[in-house]
Amino acid sequence: PSRFDFYIIAAHPNQPSTDMTAHLIDGKQIATDTQAHIKERVTALSARGINPGLAVILVGDNPASHVYVSNKVKSCGVVGMHSVLEQYPADLSETKLLERIHALNIDPSIHGILVQLPLPAHINEHAVLEAISPIKDVDGFHLINAGALMTGQPRLRACTPYGVMKMLEHSGTEIRGAHAVVIGASNIVGKPMALMLLQAGATITVCNSKTRDLAHHTRQADIIVAAVGRAKFITGDMVKAGAVVIDVGMNRDENGKLCGDVDFESVSKVAGAVSPVPGGVGPMTITMLLMNTLEAAEKYA
Ligand code: GUN
């Protein structure tokens, strides 16, 4: 048994456990423990007169974005960090948004800046992300941070794939030499995920929405990271026996219930380990945002 066995629980509390064979990768528990560790480091840093601070900017009224940013701000409180939420109407000009970012770049009480995506169509997303100081870019989306990851010298890392790496680590999954299949090639998840797995020694296949015979690829995988954005898209017949499956999806099923990209019921009968939705990647994404803000304050304040 590895020291990580604590994070694997035998059955999903919301699922009939009768023929489920996969271990459950308990993202919520890993997040809780990691946040306790972050809190200790925040306390130590505060004793030296530096209280880590996160600024979150939300433009417009996308309901999902509202939920995400309020969870991010709330979590700062849990670990004793300072946070500010700036909300602007959908018709905010790009110039005004850039002015706010420049002000936060030089604000000594702020160590992390996050602009929630998506932005309204009239605002150039790339221009906004490049305006954030790379040392405060806690999303890891700035070209400098994306390039640092690509050249194998990661600085601030994208939160979701960073969280997935921690989940794999805590579940005792061997990444070196494994074949990892990443489904989805976005800048937020798929691309940085592939680079982090590559850096850790995996052989990578990156699939996208146009991939022919997706199941042919997924069946080769020792590790599957599903970031497709389609409810219950990955089914048990697409998974090799014993594979580790991480579900990045956040969808609604036919009954309006929150579900992932992975069909938990069929996949949990063949996989070696699987992460649930909710309670998997979601809490880890927020936790790694807190970790990035802490690291930005420790390194750059
Ligand atoms: N929208 C969806 N995911 C993310 C994320 O990780 N960061 C930001 N800023 N916006 C998002």
| CB 164 within 8 Å of CB 284 | yes
Q: Which of these, 95, 124, 111, 125, lies nearest to 187 by C-alpha position?
A: 125
Which atom of ligand 1 is the closest one to the Cα of 159?
6
pLDDT value of residue 18: 55
In this prediction, residue 2 has a pLDDT band, given cuts at 50, 70 and 90, of: very low
Mean pLDDT along residues 243-267: 96
Active site residues per annotation: 72, 116, 139
Among 130, 137, 188, 248, name the best residue to mutate to test ligand 1's pocket (greatest count of ligand atoms within 8 A of Cβ). 188
As a whole number of Å, the CA-based R_g of the chain is 19
- Rounded distance between C-alpha atoms, residue 235 and residue 232, angstroms: 7
| Residue 160 CB neighbour total at 10 angstroms | 26
- Rounded distance between C-alpha atoms, residue 43 and residue 49, angstroms: 10
- Rounded distance between C-alpha atoms, residue 190 and residue 226, angstroms: 9
pLDDT value of residue 5: 52
Q: How far is the CA of 215 from the centre of ligand 1 (A)?
A: 28
Please tell me the residue having the least CA distance from ligand 1 atom 1. 117
Task: Give tens-digit pLDDT for 211-232.
Answer: 999 999 999 999 999 999 999 9
| CB 246 within 8 Å of CB 272 | no
pLDDT value of residue 9: 56
Contacts of 258 (CB under 8 A, 6+ apart): 250, 251, 252, 277, 278
Which atom of ligand 1 is the closest one to the Cα of 65?
1
Map residue 207 onto helix, strand or coil: strand
Q: How far is the CA of 122 from the centre of ligand 1 (A)?
A: 18
In this prediction, residue 20 has a pLDDT band, given cuts at 50, 70 and 90, of: confident
In this prediction, residue 10 has a pLDDT band, given cuts at 50, 70 and 90, of: low
pLDDT value of residue 266: 98
And the tokens for 16? 């009939």
Q: How far is the CA of 240 from the centre of ligand 1 (A)?
A: 31
Ligand 1, residues at Cβ distance < 6 Å: 114-117, 139, 159-160, 188
Among 65, 66, 115, 116, name the best residue to mutate to test ligand 1's pocket (greatest count of ligand atoms within 8 A of Cβ). 116
In this prediction, residue 41 has a pLDDT band, given cuts at 50, 70 and 90, of: very high
11 has a pLDDT exceeding 80: no
pLDDT value of residue 111: 98
179 has a pLDDT exceeding 60: yes
Mean pLDDT along residues 37-49: 98
E strand segments, 15-125: 23-25, 53-59, 82-88, 112-115
pLDDT value of residue 105: 98
In this prediction, residue 3 has a pLDDT band, given cuts at 50, 70 and 90, of: very low
| Residue 40 CB neighbour total at 10 angstroms | 12
Mean pLDDT along residues 26-37: 98
Task: Give tens-digit pLDDT for 199-208.
Answer: 999 999 999 9
50 has a pLDDT exceeding 70: yes
Q: Which of these, 243, 244, 232, 246, lies nearest to 284 by C-alpha position?
A: 246
Map residue 19 onto helix, strand or coil: coil
Amino acid identity at 296: A
76 has a pLDDT exceeding 70: yes
Mean pLDDT along residues 237-262: 96
| Residue 99 CB neighbour total at 10 angstroms | 12
In this prediction, residue 274 has a pLDDT band, given cuts at 50, 70 and 90, of: very high
The secondary structure of residue 154, as a DSSP letter, is -
Mean pLDDT along residues 226-246: 97
